[in-house]
Structure 1
């Protein structure tokens, strides 16, 4: 049986949530979630890397600011603030931050490995 993580509070104030360092030049805040969906704020310094990886979750990401060289499968594109991308389950992907910025990741279902 799958573990339940419950749900976050209804209102989440960014200033009240601590950053978690997840790599050199990369930190994240887990914002809102329940077992079916999760919102994560990720801040990259220029040169920060989201290494190539894959997971069974669907992912959509909004680029709030900065510039990112993003690879999804065999395609690589430069994305900037105002752009977005979709990553299907089990597709290899990763990012290199070219200009310091913020991504908002949405996962379905919840990323249990982040909890």
Structure 2
């Protein structure tokens, strides 16, 4: 299957960080209507505020340490750990040690592009 206007191979160094908010930047790595992959870089102390969305989300802690909250339950996650957020659950993170989350969303987050 061919995907018009897309690339099969994504080279990280060719993508630019987009400023999101204080201490937060992201790179949209790849997406189609059903799936999206995003890197999110956090400075120490940065917060991904509690929010909810219809998208199913799986996030991987690529580096750093994060306090992750899902539906009022908090857990500290470090490099190599992951978390799963079903549709419409309240969730957010606080960065305890500078790091990067790799987020996947299904379907894609149209509000990011």
| Structure 1 length-normalised TM | 0.92
Unpaired segments ≥5 residues, structure 1? 1-5
- Alignment match of 1:100 (pick from 72, 92, 98): 98
Count of equivalent residues: 110
- Alignment match of 2:73 (pick from 72, 75, 79): 75
Q: Following superposition, which runs of at least 4 residues in structure 1 exceed 4 angstroms of deviation? A: none
Cα distance in 1 for residues equivalent to 2:87 and 2:7: 27
| Contact 1:7–1:33 (CA under 8 A) maintained in structure 2 | no
Q: CA RMSD in A?
A: 1.0
Cα distance in 1 for residues equivalent to 2:19 and 2:48: 12
Counterpart position of 1:3: none
Unpaired segments ≥5 residues, structure 2? none
> 1:7–1:78: structure 2 CA closer, same or farther, 3 Å change rule?
farther
Task: Please give the per-residue CA displacement for 1:4-38, whole angstroms capped at 9, x wherever unaligned.
Answer: xx663111111111100111111000001110000
| Structure 2 length-normalised TM | 0.94
Counterpart position of 1:44: 42
Cα distance in 2 for residues equivalent to 1:94 and 1:77: 11
Matched, 1:20 2:18: yes
Quote how far apart the aligned CAs of 1:74 are.
1.6
